[in-house]
């Protein structure tokens, strides 16, 4: 069994990204918009700040209270669109329910949409055209498969989860790479019959240990996107979250040919891919 180690892959790919950053005339900058004070969002933003520091990309965070009006966010994004010092913009999701997520996301210039979630970038993905930004998690999954030399062309890929953030763009990107893709969701009947047919099984559900060995066939490649907090433990540095993926790793790993751990699989690659997009945006802006 090969452990698809996202931290190892990222470390190896970082050198090339650093060289690209060094060749730029300006330090690239990622602007993050945060609304509210969700603990999970704060953790993900902190991870991005740390990685930005590690590779030499500036990261700014603009914070709004959870009861902020949409206009204020949109006008701040429009200001960032015009700011030559900002290479890429992301809105940390989820947003409070009173806000129109689509309107806010689509106020980001497609040229700075490094999360690849604007209609303009999703249309390029839909049409299988180059030149846009792929959503970071999707890009991270593709890079991880490529790093470990796992081909997808002609393979049966089953994606469990159909969110706009992960499931759908990942399924489309794999279809664009000539995989034969099945998308499953909460209403899929006899899910295990479909998941067992996959050469590459990708799970983006968000339910800990949901995919037990009954859903798996011997020799599959399993990509676990899910991240669920299942507890906390005290460490010297304070409280640490205990995370679980969608896959019952312990019992599944014996069967499969390759599998991502959680944490340390798709997560580090998602952050890396986001910063790859920031660097590309900066290169394009000249
Ligand atoms: P989401 O919007 O909640 O979507 C979850 C999907 O799972 C939905 O399509 C849902 O189906 C499907 N689902 C729920 N129960 C199911 C069941 N019993 N059988 C089959 N499908 C089922 O979540 P998301 O934003 O896509 O995120 C999914 C997970 O990935 C979360 O744990 C999240 O934290 C994690 N994540 C990780 C990364 C990373 O970098 N590793 C990045 C983003 C997200 P319906 O559409 O029918 O409701």
**Tokens representing 148?**
């470990």
Distance CA 60, CA 28 (A): 11
Q: Are 252 and 216 in contact (CB under 8 A)?
A: yes
Ligand 1 atom with minimal separation from the 266 CA: 41
Q: Are 195 and 248 in contact (CB under 8 A)?
A: no
pLDDT digits (tens, 9 = 90+) for 142-186: 999 999 999 999 999 999 999 999 999 999 999 999 999 999 999
Enumerate residues lining ligand 1, CB below 6 A.
137, 160-163, 165-167, 184-188, 191, 204-207, 225-228, 266-267, 270
- Centroid of ligand 1 to alpha carbon of 163 (angstroms): 6
- Give the model's confidence band at 286: pLDDT under 50 very low, under 70 low, under 90 confident, else very high: confident
pLDDT digits (tens, 9 = 90+) for 102-145: 999 999 999 999 999 999 999 999 999 999 999 999 999 999 99
Q: What does pTM read for this prediction?
A: 0.97
Q: Are 172 and 208 in contact (CB under 8 A)?
A: no
Ligand 1 pocket mutation, candidates 205, 223, 273, criterion most atoms within 8 A of CB: 205
Contacts of 70 (CB under 8 A, 6+ apart): 99, 100, 103, 104
Domains of the chain, each with CATH number or no CATH? 25-110 (3.40.50.10860), 136-267 (3.40.50.720)
- Give the model's confidence band at 8: pLDDT under 50 very low, under 70 low, under 90 confident, else very high: very high
Residue 269 has pLDDT above 90, yes or no: yes
């Amino acid at each position: 069994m090969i452990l698809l180690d996202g931290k190892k892959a990222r470390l190896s790919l970082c050198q090339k990204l650093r060289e690209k950053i060094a060749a730029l005339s300006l330090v690239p900058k990622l602007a993050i918009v945060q609304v509210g004070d969700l603990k999970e969002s704060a953790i993900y933003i902190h991870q991005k700040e740390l990685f930005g520091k590690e590779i030499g990309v500036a990261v700014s965070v603009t914070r709004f209270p959870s009861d902020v009006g949409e206009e204020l966010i949109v006008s701040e994004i429009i200001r960032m669109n015009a700011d030559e010092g900002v290479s890429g913009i992301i809105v940390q999701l989820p947003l409070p329910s009173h806000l129109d997520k689509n309107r806010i996301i689509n106020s980001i210039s497609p040229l700075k949409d490094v999360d690849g979630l604007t209609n303009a970038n999703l249309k390029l993905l839909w049409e299988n055209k180059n030149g846009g930004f792929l959503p970071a998690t999707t890009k991270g999954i593709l890079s991880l498969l490529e790093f470990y030399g796992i081909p997808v062309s002609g393979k049966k890929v089953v994606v469990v989860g159909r969110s706009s953030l992960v499931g759908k763009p990942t399924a489309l990107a794999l279809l664009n790479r000539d995989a034969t893709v099945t998308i499953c969701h909460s209403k899929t009947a006899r899910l295990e019959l479909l998941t067992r047919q996959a050469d590459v099984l990708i799970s983006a559900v968000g339910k800990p240990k949901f995919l037990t060995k009954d859903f798996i066939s011997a020799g599959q490649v399993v990509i676990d996107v899910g991240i669920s907090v299942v507890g906390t433990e005290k460490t010297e540095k304070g409280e640490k979250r205990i995370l679980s993926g969608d896959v019952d790793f312990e019992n599944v790993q014996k069967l499969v040919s390759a599998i991502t751990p959680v944490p340390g699989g798709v997560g580090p690659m998602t952050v890396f891919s986001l910063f790859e997009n920031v660097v590309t945006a900066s290169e394009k802006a000249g």
